[in-house]
Amino acid sequence: MESTIKELINKALRECFDMAEVAFAVERPKELTHGDYATNVALVISKTLAKNLNSGTQDIAATLVGYINDNKPPEIADVSIAGPGFINFSLSKEFFNMQLNMMLEQKNTSPITWEEKRVMVEYTDPNPFKPFHIGHLMTNAIGESIARIITASGGEVIRANYQGDVGLHVAKAIWGIQQQSSWVTEKQYAPKSLLSKNNPTYLAQYIGDCYVFGSEKYDSDEGVKKEIDIINKKIYEKDDDDINAIYVWGREATLEAFETIYRTLGTTFDYYFFESDMAIKGRALVERFFEKGVFVKSDGAIVFKAEEYNPKLHTRVFITSNDLPTYETKELGLTETKFEKETLDQSIVITAVEQKDYMAVATEAMRQIHPEYAEKMKHITHGMMRFAAGKMSSRKGNVITGESLLNDAQVMALEKMKERAMDESVREGAASVIGVAAIKYAILRQALGGDIIYDPEQSVSFDGDSGPYLQYSTTRARSVIAKATELGIVASTKITPPAIYEIEKILCRFEETVEHAAKTLEPHHIATFLIDLASRFNSFYANEIIADPDDMYAPYKLALTKAFAQTMTNGLYLLGISVPEKM
């Protein structure tokens, strides 16, 4: 319809004012009372025409409206002037009826923003030997949603997870484990009480505690710092059997624990990349292009002077004076590996905003090595999740892990449903899905880049601006559909009510919302749409009896309800959220 309206306006400009190539906007008004579309074309051309025609914006708008009303297609019911000269378009009942039929028959055309594009999306990226923290939850929610949006828009997505299995954090954790001498001597590396439970989650928590202990000692004890630095070098060199054994055990335990979280979040990956592998590949790249002058020596280290290529960037170390590769070097190895393994049109990486400068320098370095890869690299950042106590760090003991946040949300959901009549297994299953929705929606409802203030009570609420509210609205619609079916009501659009319901006007905006989200790679547009749609449905539900076999319009109302339930299910899926059968 937007294209139809633009074409109609351009025709009016040619016929009425002999004008062409005018840049004007056709947009959705914020308020439904202002029509289904609005244009500023009269305001745009008034500066040019007002003097020549000795008339104002209102007169110009009136001329355009008159022509458009005389030539409009049946999908447009009315065209009118609003405010200082905006032109509003109201669509017809026939248009919404047609849209509803397409939804019921699932004949809507999907956006093709990413058609025939192969895209690798890298996200989550937790580090073995460290807790799965809240930042990993944020990256996972955003990355999974972007991956699903690209797929829905015709693209082929390859999901990747890049995990830091080498580095100073690993050395800190291993040193912490070594301090438990009795367990290490027996080569069990953890208390027998934990090992007997055979639960990777408990072991990962223990390893995380050892990391925190090692990190605190590293900062406060110069002797421990030297010991941990030696361990760090040995991890890269792999020349110490005892350290190697602890490393293999801890890596496997934490990776297995991460998999349980991925299953809860509904994420699967096509590739798992590890820093230990990328360090080798990245070092080879740096050494090769050091000889070509891309990298230079500085105080015993090998650096890349990015500001020489882009004045907005700065110098960063790629090989330390201790001959260890940095994150930047590993990033080069990772990028080359991605493009060697897959033919890609785009490589997208989602990280916290804190890594923005580091990624910019790494990308510029890659531009000097593989310019064809750099042109296809895109970095998306997100802010921090904050609580009343402020920013938290996995290096300190005040950390709230991503797993504990999920568990807390699920416990709160269980409490809210404790009076509901359902089997305990069904209740627990629903609570798990609701807890995930609470956290994912809290992350995705906000535009990317800004920090998020997480409110547990609001996020798990079944009312208002929350993921569980969207789920509850969907299950309510499904319940109504089941009741209407039992009463013998069959969804149909043959007999239509005289008025156009608000929910009809919102439903038909779903595809354009997905298209906009796909173009901008911003899931919050879908989240905002779904909240508006759910609100309209709940008003419709409160004011209309839908499952009434004596109502001649009941089949139409049921059709709207089915279209709503399907649209909500589809939209929530794009946010990585599923809907429980009961709530």
Q: Dihedral through CA 404, CA 405, CA 408, CA 412, nearest 10?
A: -170
State how far the Cα of 39 lies from the Cα of 174, in Å rounded to an integer.
Answer: 64
- Our CA angle for 292, 294, 296, nearest 5°, is 100
pLDDT tens, residue by residue, 389-447: 555 454 444 567 898 999 999 999 999 998 888 899 999 999 999 999 999 999 999 99
pLDDT of residue 391: 53
pLDDT 10s digits, 529-554: 999 999 999 999 999 999 999 999 99
**Confidence bin at 108 (pLDDT 50/70/90):** low
Q: What is the pLDDT of residue 71?
A: 96
450 in a structural domain:
yes
Is pTM beyond 0.85? Reply is: yes
Residue 498 tokens read as 């005289």
CATH of the domain at 568: 1.10.730.10
375-393 mean pLDDT: 81
**Least confident window among 4-18, 174-188, 287-301, 322-336:** 174-188
Give pLDDT, residue 83.
87
186 is a domain residue: no
Residue 8 belongs to some domain of the structure = yes
Rounded Cα distance between 56 and 54, Å, is: 7
Instruction: Tell me what pLDDT residue 184 has.
Output: 72
CATH code at 33? Answer: 3.30.1360.70
Rounded to 10 deg, the angle between the 424-444 and 402-416 helix axes is 120
pLDDT confidence of 21, banded at 50, 70, 90? confident
Last residue of a domain, one of 56, 91, 126: 91
* Domain-embedded: residue 144: no
pLDDT tens, position by position, 305-340:
999 999 999 999 999 999 999 999 999 999 999 999
Strand 156-163 with 118-122, pairing: parallel
Tell me, yes or no, whether 457 lies in a domain.
yes
Determine the 3-state secondary structure of 376 from DSSP. Answer: coil
Q: What is the pLDDT of residue 394?
A: 46
Q: Identify the domain boundary among 91, 113, 136.
A: 91
Q: Is the pLDDT confidence value at 198 over 90?
A: no
CA distance 71 to 151: 39
* pLDDT at 229 exceeding the cut of 50: yes
Tell me whether residue 260 is in a domain.
Answer: no
Q: Identify the three-state secondary structure at position 40.
A: coil
pLDDT per residue as tens digits for the range 351-361:
999 999 999 99
Tell me how many domains the chain contains: 2
In tens, the pLDDT along 33-55 reads 999 999 999 999 987 776 555 56
Q: What is the mean pLDDT of residues 248-260?
A: 95
Pairing between β-strand 37-39 and β-strand 86-91 as defined by DSSP bridges: antiparallel
- Rounded Cα distance, 359 and 334, in Å: 12
Distance, CA of 461 to CA of 467 (rounded, Å): 8
pLDDT band at 193 (very low <50, low <70, confident <90, very high): confident
pLDDT of 29 reads: 93
* Residue 245, pLDDT above cutoff 60: yes
Best-predicted range by mean pLDDT (15-29, 178-192, 412-426, 522-536) = 522-536
DSSP string of 247-285, one letter each residue: HHHHHHHHHHHHHHHHHHHT---SEEEEHHHHHHHHHHH
Question: Does the structure show a pLDDT above 60 at 214?
Answer: yes
Domain's final residue, options 91, 125, 141 = 91
User: What integer pLDDT is reported at residue 358 of this predicted model?
Assistant: 94
Confidence at residue 160, expressed as pLDDT on a 0 to 100 scale: 98
In a domain, 463, yes or no: yes
The pLDDT of residue 420 is: 87
Taking CA 135 as the corner, what is the angle to CA 131 and CA 140, rounded to the nearest 5 degrees?
Answer: 100
pLDDT band at 201 (very low <50, low <70, confident <90, very high): confident
298 assigned to some structural domain: no
Read out DSSP for 276-314? HHHHHHHHHHHHHHHTTTSSEEETTEEEEEGGGT-TT--
Q: Is 227 helix (H, G, I), strand (E, B) or coil?
A: helix
Mean pLDDT of the chain: 93
Question: Domain range spanning residue 84?
Answer: 2-91
Report whether pLDDT(528) > 80.
yes
